[in-house]
């Protein structure tokens, strides 16, 4: 058997069920590795004693012959905007440090029902409003492949923990790319489910019409398992014939101005997929950039005014939105959030209505017609136009000799599908010459999550497994 920390979700669950591994020994190995790599700052709240107690209970249940769930004894970490009893839900912002949930989020309840062990809460970009995970209050999360680089965000701690083999899998959240982007920059896999397909209660929100939680793991197979656990959909796998798969390649926007390493790796991946029998249909999504721009920031700058207070009310918290904004530590997040409340800068109801009632339906239609008219299962494109950049480049980054705004440069390819509410998946396909991970993404039709994952799983069989990052063994 490989080192315990190398086990996937499926492998760990099977080993525990067969008696080849105890939940306690797995937890001990992962705890030691997490503590040895504390400088990654992947965890904001980590309780070894509680984890070991849960693991011992899992082992006792097995010895007593009790019915075991699909995730029995498997540690899974959570982004710190997801409610789990026993852990504060801070969203890594100072005002919520004392936010101790009395109920588990439905997602957490589903994981626990199948025997999972909650393996701590992950550091994130403050309030999930950013992609660097450089948090002024709780510290920067570091990329396991190069600790001087960002892990992506806002689910940066979750992706870093999974990549560094501190946990087999984790749950993040994705509004404009916050699961898929850190997955790509950290060399792991991530799923953004169709909007509203995963339950959204018990999660500190940004924008209710865009937010969704999603899994991060080192294999697509593990994403399929976790998705089945959370949604209740049957775990049975279809037999995917790559010769019958058609993928759209939208060159406009998605394949423009790419970092050379990213362009080379993703172009080579397309050639490999074509050689495997996949039909690539090069056709653009019409008006995609204009429609996306008419929705994205309008929604993100309007809905938190309603959605965050609603979460606080459900949590019976005495903290207000004004309290949160006043105590925000990260300059980029403070600027964004202050604009929500300022009468002079906040988005009007008229502008929001146009984004939701006019432009979003058009964007949804563009995606739906693209899939149907071209007979394609999904679009395919680089998850990010560039690899990870240095911690501290919060305002601008360098790309092809130019300084460009950090946030839009990283979410450029993941944002349109988010606004359309369609499912998206990112899978690792290799490392750059400097050793930084590169991700390849697909967006599928609304509700096609399982088929999208199954196609990705079949594709992943033909891509080389990238090496693990060089971190302390624990």
Going by C-beta distance under 8 Å and a sequence separation of 6 or more, which residues neighbour residue 14?
none
Distance of CA 469 to the CA centre of its chain: 19
The CA distances from residue 412 to 96, 209, 265, 289, 294, in Å, are 30, 19, 18, 9, 14
Per-residue HEC secondary structure of 406-461 comes to HHHHHHCCCHHHHHHCCCEEEEEEEECCCCCEEEEEEECCCCCHHHHHHHHHHHHC
Please check whether residue 44 is in contact with residue 154, taking contact to mean a CB–CB distance below 8 angstroms: no
Look at strands 437-443 and 246-248 and give their pairing.
Answer: unpaired
CA gap 311, 306 in Å, rounded = 9
Q: Which residues contact residue 150 at a Cβ distance below 8 angstroms, ignoring those fewer than 6 apart?
A: 131, 132, 133, 134, 140, 141, 143, 156, 185, 388, 389, 390, 391, 393
Cis peptide before 365 (omega within 30 of 0): no
Report the alpha-carbon distance of residue 432 to residue 182 in Å, rounded.
16
Residues involved in catalysis: 79, 154, 178
CA 62, 63, 67, 72: dihedral to nearest 10 degrees? Answer: 0
Those residues whose C-beta lies under 8 Å from the C-beta of residue 21, and which sit 6 or more positions away, are 1, 4, 7, 12, 15
279-281 and 246-248 as β-strands: parallel, antiparallel, unpaired?
parallel
């Amino acid at each position: 058997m490989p080192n315990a920390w190398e086990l996937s979700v499926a492998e760990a669950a099977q080993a525990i069920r067969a008696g080849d591994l105890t939940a306690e020994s797995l937890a001990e190995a992962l705890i030691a590795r997490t503590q040895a790599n504390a400088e990654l700052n992947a965890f904001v709240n980590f309780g070894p004693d509680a984890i070991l107690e849960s693991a011992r209970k899992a082992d006792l249940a097995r010895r007593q012959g009790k019915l075991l769930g699909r995730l029995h004894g498997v540690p899974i970490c959570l982004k710190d905007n997801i409610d789990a009893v026993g852990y504060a839900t801070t969203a890594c912002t100072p005002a919520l440090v004392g936010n101790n949930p009395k109920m588990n989020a439905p997602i957490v309840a589903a994981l626990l029902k199948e025997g999972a062990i909650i393996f701590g809460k992950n550091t994130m970009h403050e309030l999930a409003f950013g992609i660097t995970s450089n948090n002024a209050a709780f510290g920067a999360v570091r990329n396991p492949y190069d600790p001087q680089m960002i892990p992506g965000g806002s689910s940066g701690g979750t992706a870093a923990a999974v990549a560094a083999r501190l946990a087999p899998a984790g749950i993040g959240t994705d509004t404009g790319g916050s699961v898929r982007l850190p997955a790509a920059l950290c060399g792991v896999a991530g799923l953004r489910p169709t909007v509203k397909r995963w339950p959204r209660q018990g999660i500190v929100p940004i924008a209710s019409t865009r937010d969704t939680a999603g899994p991060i793991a080192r294999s697509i197979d593990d994403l399929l398992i976790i998705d089945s656990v959370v949604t209740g959909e049957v775990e049975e796998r279809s037999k995917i014939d790559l010769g019958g798969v058609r993928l759209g390649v939208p060159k406009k926007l998605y394949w423009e101005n790419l970092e050379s390493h990213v362009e080379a790796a993703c172009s080579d991946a397309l050639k490999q997929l074509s050689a495997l029998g996949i039909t690539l249909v090069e056709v653009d999504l019409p008006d995609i950039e204009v429609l996306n721009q008419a929705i994205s920031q309008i929604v993100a700058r309007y809905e938190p005014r309603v959605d965050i207070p609603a979460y606080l009310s459900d949590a019976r918290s005495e903290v207000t939105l004004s309290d949160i904004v006043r105590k925000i530590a990260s300059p980029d997040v403070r600027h964004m959030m202050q604009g929500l409340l300022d009468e002079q800068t906040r988005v009007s109801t008229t502008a929001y209505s146009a984004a939701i009632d006019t432009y979003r339906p058009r964007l949804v239609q563009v995606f739906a017609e693209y899939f149907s008219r071209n007979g394609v299962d999904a679009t395919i494109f680089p998850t990010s136009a560039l690899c990870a950049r240095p911690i501290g480049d919060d305002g601008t980054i360098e790309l092809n000799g130019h300084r460009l705004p950090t946030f839009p440069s990283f979410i450029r390819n993941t944002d349109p599908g988010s606004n359309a509410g369609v499912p998206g998946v990112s899978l690792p396909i290799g490392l750059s010459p400097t050793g930084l991970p590169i991700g390849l993404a697909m967006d599928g039709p609304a509700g096609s999550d399982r088929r999208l994952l199954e196609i990705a799983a079949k594709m992943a069989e033909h891509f080389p497994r990238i090496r693990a990052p060089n971190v302390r063994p624990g």
